[in-house]
A and B are shown apart, each in its own frame.
Chain A
Amino acid sequence: MSVRFEQVTKTFNGSAVVDRLDLAVDDCELVVLLGPSGCGKTTTLRMLAGLEEATSGDIFIGDERVNDVPTRFRDVAMVFQNYALYPHMTIAENIGYPLRVKKIPGEETNQRVKRVAEMLEIGGLLKRRPRELSGGERQRVALARAIVREPRVYLMDEPLSNLDAKLRVYMRGELKRLQRELGTTTVYVTHDQAEAMTLAHRVAVMRAGKLQQFDTPLNIYNRPANRFVAEFVGSPSMNFIEGRIDRSAKMFVGDGLAYRLEETQLARLNALERVTLGIRPEHIEVSTTEQEGWLKASVYVSELMGNETFVFLRLGDQRIVARAGADFRADIETPVWARIDVDKSNFFDAQSGEAIR
């Protein structure tokens, strides 16, 4: 079932938490709402669930406008950050609750609960109570309670953020498989860009109530719409170098570096004077020996990750980070040479922060 937001605004005490949001989620799609806390992503999800009322605009599930439909008739299932399991009920009762409310016969309820529990590998826990379960198990119960109903849309509000790092990565994969198998439209809220990248068909990046970019994970990563998106997605974060365009020399001139631009790039930058160069750490090559035409820099600090090394460089007054191989070694303050892959770089308007394409 598709989901559509049309010019949806939500204000609390006069300030807009969600500002004229337009978003269309296709049937069977998993869309991640990504953004820092307070960006309006959870509010958006709650409006879709009917737990918050939209101040203006229209929300559709399928072709039905649901603004005035009470939560319980919207036929959506939600997984909460703290799971919100009913503490006084057994796991079986928890999972079966949505069916009992719908007055589905006990025999059928039992069968469906059992089937879903087995699917999520919690079949052995049905007689226990939530407080006897570990975080990961509770997480599965919350999922089972959502799945058992076969709703029109799944809503997930940071469902993995209460799990430890290892379990989170594991459950992330499980969730992805589950969603692809069930093929149910899902709106997923998170502030974790790794979750967004790995789970989503498309990612909607939000900031201060406004949608910044709505695109596939790869496009979000490679072609961010503005500086905010570029900075928010990717770890370590994208490097930004302020500079200007010297048209006569066909050069980008930044602090401590200058390099030649190709005609096509120059054309894109049209009349702009001041621009910001954005470059991902993996598009900066570092060498401890001098290379012809590379930029001279010094090592501020280098962090060994085991499989790779993050090298923080001082380039003029700038501090930038490069991603180097696992065997890269350099002491603090030693001179190194760096090459920026200009083809992979992004340019942003220095004033507005919008990407230049």
Chain B
Amino acid sequence: MSKKQRKHERRERLAQLAKYFVLAISLFVAVAPVYWMLTISLKSEVDQFATPPKWFGFDPTLAHYSDAFVSRSFGKYLITSATVAVLSTLCAVLLGTLAAYGLARFRLRGSLDRRLSLWILSTRMFPPIVTAVPLFLLMRDLRLVNTIPALVIVYTALNLPFVVWMMRGFFKELPRELEEAAMVDGDSRLGALVRVILPLVTPGLAATAVFCLIVSWNEFLLALVLTQTDAAMTLPVGIAGRVTQYEIKWGVMSAAGVVAMIPILVFAMAVQRYLVRGLSLGAVKG
């Protein structure tokens, strides 16, 4: 082996090492807080505050979990969160997909289709807090404060622009001839959409739905404003509520946090394949 070759090989190995080093740091930054939360949820209160911190080697306990989900109403929050997330995602995907299809395929007078798309997007440009008070007043007048429908409506509105823009991009990528062929073949436009177009944008649809689920599941601010009692409190609001004037229930909060994390984690892993494809699908043409 020549000297040059050896030098080259050494450099290659160094580059590999550097790559793994950077990866390791990123992984640590991403995973450490999660790990810390997980351990806190399993530690007794004494272990939680030990110095130096106990990363490993503590006696695991499920006390906080039973405290959260048996003694306290976190189980109810969990069900509320799931209901709200699923319903609002369904509504947003259904309405948004239809709207996106219309905006992608039909040209309206005075390029209204383009303008409408921009207006729809513009609702995502201001901070959500701006709408919090008006939304509260609106829901109060509708007598929907502290109800699940209020959250479903608000989250649907929150997710709709995102769905419209994502799906519009996917639809635009498909050649028009596909629906035209379907219609010439005797199908209605809606039939063509359901039988021909939607199966082709399934990856995009899945990715979009997962995003909506995550947004709805994690949303905190509007839920805090619109719900005050256990009747419609979601997990994030419930967890934050354990920071009280007198004590902070780290164990309970962590236990609830771990449970809150699981559905999203499972779902994201299940559709991971679609997620990557879906996101890059829209990236080329928008």
Which residues of chain A have a CB within 8 Å of any CB of chain B?
49-51, 70-78, 80-82, 84, 86-88, 97-98, 101-102, 145, 149, 155
Contacts and interface: CB of A to CB of B under 8 A. Distances in A.
B9 interface: no
Nearest to A103: B186
A51 B183 contact: yes
Given A72-B187, A72-B188, A84 B200 contact: no
B177 to A, nearest CB: 4
B206 to A, nearest CB: 14
Given A72-B187, A101-B187, A101-B191, A80 B177 contact: yes
A52 to B, nearest CB: 10
Interface residues of B, number: 17
A49 B184 CA distance: 7
A84 B186 contact: no
Contacts of A75: 186
Interface in B211-241: none
A93 to B, nearest CB: 10
B240 to A, nearest CB: 45
| Shortest Cβ-Cβ A-B pairs, 5 listed | A84-B177, A84-B181, A98-B185, A71-B183, A78-B184
B134 interface: no
A84 B180 contact: yes
Contacts of A73: 186
B180 A97 contact: no
Contacts of B191: 101
13 contacts: A51-B180, A51-B184, A70-B183, A70-B188, A76-B184, A78-B184, A84-B178, A84-B181, A86-B181, A88-B199, A97-B187, A98-B186, A101-B187
B284 to A, nearest CB: 17
A86 B114 CA distance: 28
Contacts of B181: 78, 80, 84, 86, 145
B137 interface: no
Contact of A86 (B180, B184, B186, B196): B196
A101 to B, nearest CB: 5
B279 interface: no
A45 to B, nearest CB: 11
Contacts of A84: 175, 177-178, 180-181
Nearest to B187: A101
Contact of A77 (B178, B184, B188): B184
A100 B116 CA distance: 36
A86 B178 contact: yes
A145 B183 CA distance: 13
B182 interface: yes
Contacts of B177: 80-82, 84
A76 B184 CA distance: 7
Nearest to B185: A98
Contacts of B178: 84, 86
A334 B184 CA distance: 59
Given A86-B196, A102-B186, 16 more contacts: A49-B184, A51-B183, A71-B183, A72-B183, A75-B186, A76-B184, A78-B181, A80-B181, A84-B177, A84-B181, A87-B200, A101-B185, A101-B187, A101-B195, A145-B181, A149-B185
From B186, B187, B199, name the one whose CB has the most chain A CB atoms within 10 angstroms: B186
